[in-house]
């Protein structure tokens, strides 16, 4: 019994070392990924008055502009849709999305990409992504926003 017990304690120490090593390894990989693919982590561009999103400023005129070799998209996520309803960009060029909501929280998840924003009224979210493959990408709302939530889709057309 005593011998067994000591053997278990040795295993236990080895296990703890393995656990700590594994977690440190994960953290190193996460840090590396954030450095190389960090553009899709949502950050705040600015705070905004949610009640004026529809009437003032860039989001009252949701659009995609092309300047200096990159796209800038001003997107309204509202109950239940996105404006512009369809965004068209060319592949291989960086797109910066600014997204906000005039009403409640929404999701801005672009299928088959790492773009996944929690859209929060009062906050303008910013992400940058470069589409590598042409095609049509759906934007899916993945946060409950009311009775029509399941029908809330948008579209990004990526051209060759």
Partner 1 sequence: MVVQSITSTAREAYRNEPEKKVTLYLLVLGFIALLLGTLFGPLQAFNYGGIDLYPFLKPLLKSYYQGLTLHGVLNAIVFTQLFAQALLLYLPAKALGLRPNMTLSWLSWWMAFIGLGTAAIPLFGNQATVLYTFYPPLQGHWAFYVGAAVFVLSSWVTAFTVLGMWLRWKRANPGKVTPLVAYMSVVTWMMWLLASLGLVVEVAVFLIPWSLGLIKGVDPQLTRTLFWFTGHPIVYFWLMPAYVIAYGLMPKQAGGKLFSDPLARLAFLMLLLFSTPVGFHHQFADPGVETNWKFVHTVLTMMVAVPSLLTAFTLAASLENAGRARGGKGLLGWITKLPWDNPSVTAMLLGLISFIPGGAGGLVNASFSLNQVVHNTAWIPGHFHLQVATMVTMAAMGASFWLLPHLTGKPLLGRSYALASVWLWFIGMNLMAFALHWMGLLGVPRRTPIAQLRGEYDGALPFMALNAVSGVILLVAAIFFFYVFFATLLQSKLLPASQVPEVPFAGAVSGPEHNRVAETTERLGLWFVVAIVLVVIAYGVPLVEMFSNINPVPGQKLW
User: Does residue 22 sit in helix, strand or coil?
Assistant: helix
Q: How far is the CB of 101 from partner 1 (least distance, A)?
A: 9
Q: How far is the CB of 143 from partner 1 (least distance, A)?
A: 6
Give whichever of 76 and 126 is closer to partner 1, judged by the CB atom: 126
Residues in the chain: 160
| CB count in 10 Å sphere of residue 122 | 13
What six digits make up the tokens of 88? 């068209």
Give whichever of 62 and 102 is closer to partner 1, judged by the CB atom: 102
Q: How far is the CB of 152 from partner 1 (least distance, A)?
A: 9
User: Which stretch in 55-63, 69-77, 82-90, 103-111 sits in contact with partner 1 by CB under 8 A?
Assistant: 103-111
* Cβ within 8 Å of residue 77, ≥6 positions away: 99, 100, 101, 106, 107, 108, 119, 141
Q: Which helix (H) or strand (E) holds 26?
A: helix 2-37
Q: Contacts with partner 1 in 120-149 (CB under 8 A)? A: 120-126, 140-149
User: Which stretch in 6-14, 57-65, 67-75, 88-96 sits in contact with partner 1 by CB under 8 A?
Assistant: 6-14
61 binds partner 1 (CB under 8 A): no
d(C-alpha 81, C-alpha 127), whole Å: 19
Inter-residue contact 91 to 137 (CB < 8 Å)? no
Give the interface with partner 1 as residue ranges (CB under 8 A): 5, 8, 11-12, 15-16, 19-20, 23, 26-27, 29-31, 33-34, 37-38, 40-45, 47-51, 79, 103-105, 107, 109, 111-112, 114-126, 140-151, 153
């Amino acid at each position: 019994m005593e011998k067994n017990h000591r053997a278990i304690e040795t295993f236990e120490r080895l296990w703890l070392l393995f656990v700590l090593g594994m977690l440190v390894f994960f953290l190193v990989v996460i840090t590396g990924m954030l450095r190389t693919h960090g553009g899709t982590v949502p950050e705040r561009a600015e705070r905004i008055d949610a009640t004026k999103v529809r009437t003032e400023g860039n989001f009252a005129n949701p659009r995609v502009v092309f300047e200096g070799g990159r796209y800038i998209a001003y997107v309204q996520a509202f109950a239940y849709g996105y404006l512009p309803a369809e965004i068209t960009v060319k592949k291989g060029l960086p797109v910066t999305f600014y997204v906000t909501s005039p009403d409640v929280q929404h999701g801005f998840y672009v299928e088959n990409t790492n773009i996944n924003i929690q859209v929060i009224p009062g906050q303008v979210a910013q992400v940058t992504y470069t589409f590598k493959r042409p095609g049509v990408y759906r934007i899916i709302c993945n946060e409950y926003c009311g009775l029509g939530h399941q029908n809330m889709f948008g579209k990004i057309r990526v051209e060759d």
